Amino acid sequence: MSVLTLISRNKMFNGSHERYRHFSDANQCEMTFAVYLPPQALQGYRVPVLYWLSGLTCTDENFSTKSGAQRFAAQWGIALVMPDTSPRGAGVADDDAYNLGQGAGFYLDATRAPWAANYQMYSYIVHELPALIEAHFPVNGQRSIAGHSMGGHGALQIALKNPGRYAAVSAFAPIANPSQTPWGQKAFAAYLGDNPELWAQYDSTELAKTAVKKLPVLIDQGSADEFYPHDLQAQAFVNAARGNGFNVQFNLREGYGHGYYFIATFIDSHIEFHADALGL
């Protein structure tokens, strides 16, 4: 089990927002994550966890400082865990483009060089990070998962492949059909090669067509999002999931864009959605 090094700790809504660094066995490099412990967790109670996966170019700090989610996590008694979006460091493969390499891990396990040496974000999010959280913090083993853009892609495909691990999944403006969109095609080709079977394993729309367990899904999409629908394709996922019997709540939010003004406006409804799924 990794040793956690505290980077910072700040009181927030009577809870504690904390950042940590540790060496990741999955990614073979130093990783950073943040955790918000609601006041209930500081009062001796074990609480459920909502994992938040951020989008392209982000770190754990974008959601932490811009979303206002901690206010609602404190209200419902939910811990928030916010990992970085990719491996980082001088020895970690990178690319000059914003949508590949550091800051663009796509929450998959890369199979091609040079990426495979460090880019094992799927294993990190699904297995290594929860093991750390459940060993070091006052949580009760209940989990839910959410994300934005690239992180929405990560949350959806991870939840669909591991439905017993999560009570529900939600996403803001997810890259929901990545094998059919430019961002996803570029990342999949680099990280996984030209094998369509591997691509389908990380494509939420494809996974939704055959998923057996139907966990609750909430998606918010801004109508004024500059990347909608071309790079995102939320409707393709919604159609596939509903066609397979999923209860998908889909909201097209008139006039909203892709960024954190949008997320901050509706994050309360997402926290409440997960609270309900977690039985709070």
Q: Within a 10 A sphere around the Cβ of 60, how many other Cβ atoms?
A: 21
Residue 88 CA to residue 93 CA, distance in Å, equals 8
Angle between helices 260-277 and 69-76 (to 10 degrees): 10
For residue 163, name the pLDDT band (cuts at 50, 70, 90). Answer: confident
pLDDT over 90, % of the chain: 99
Contacts of 254 (CB under 8 A, 6+ apart): 223, 224
Average pLDDT over residues 10-35: 98
pLDDT one-digit tens code per residue, 71-105: 999 999 999 999 999 999 999 999 999 999 999 99
Catalytic residue among 60, 220, 225, 231: 225
Q: With a cut of 80, say whether residue 35 has pLDDT above it.
A: yes
CATH hierarchy code of domain 5-275: 3.40.50.1820
The verdict on whether 269 is a catalytic residue reads no
Active site residue 149: yes
Hey, is 78 helix, strand or coil?
Answer: coil
Average pLDDT over residues 153-171: 97
| Across 270-278, average pLDDT | 98
pLDDT at 1: 67
Tell me the whole-structure pTM to 2 decimals: 0.97
- For the chain, the domains span 5-275
Residue of 148, 258, 270, 274 with catalytic role: 258
What mean pLDDT comes out for the span 190-219? 96
Is residue 123 part of the annotated active site? The answer reads no
Choosing from 149, 170, 179, 204, the catalytic residue is: 149
Is 90 exceeded by the pLDDT of residue 29?
Answer: yes
